[in-house]
Amino acid sequence: MRIHTSLTDAQVRSLRPVSVTFERLTSHGSRSHVRAFDVLLAGSGNTGGQWGNSGKDGAAPYKAATWDEWGIFLGALFDADPAAKATYYHDGADFHWQTGDRFRDGALTLAGQHLRHKWGHRRTLTGQHEQHCQCGAVVRRGHLADYEAREGGNVFADR
């Protein structure tokens, strides 16, 4: 995942949850922020498959980070730098909206993560597409700014 931020390499490394490792963390230039990082996390997910490395090209296999492990890392990143952006998220507000505030202010710890989410799709009264897991996790599709524009900008007036 490409992350654009004003945080330093040391600051990004300090945000890593304890049982998660950086399979890759490389620094790059960014046109929108001070720097960018290409990040790949290893954690307690599957080895192989879509997200884990199955040992292709002579690489040693590793377990991919789970959705919650990525969320804990990205939640800490966006709490430290709300103006950061990443591959799927325009900024911290967008990340927290798309993930239903599951990772805001360290609300979820590794001990509380759900290793195998079973997502069920539903459409809200406002027409927003969401996926929900029995554990309470939410994934919203689209971006906060697009949703606010469609709803007249009053969706999160209480925040």
- The full set of domain ranges for the chain reads 2-112
Q: What is the mean pLDDT of the chain?
A: 83
- The reported pLDDT for the residue numbered 85 is 96
Percent of the chain at pLDDT > 70 equals: 79
Rounded Cα distance between 144 and 159, Å, is: 13
**Closest by CA position to 19, among listed 84, 113, 125:** 113
- The reported pLDDT for the residue numbered 115 is 78
Q: Are 145 and 94 in contact (CB under 8 A)?
A: yes
29-80 pLDDT, tens digit each: 999 999 999 999 998 887 655 555 555 555 667 788 888 999 999 999 999 9
State which H helix or E strand residue 12 sits in: helix 9-14
pLDDT at 156 over 50: no
pLDDT at 151 over 60: no
Rounded Cα distance between 21 and 63, Å, is: 10
- The reported pLDDT for the residue numbered 158 is 39
Tell me how crowded residue 7 is: count the other CB atoms within 10 A of its CB: 19
Q: What angle do CA 43, 103, 147 make, to 5 degrees?
A: 120
| Backbone φ and ψ of 10, nearest 5° | -65, -40
Instruction: Give the single-character DSSP code of 65.
Output: P
Whole-model pTM? 0.81
Tell me how crowded residue 103 is: count the other CB atoms within 10 A of its CB: 23
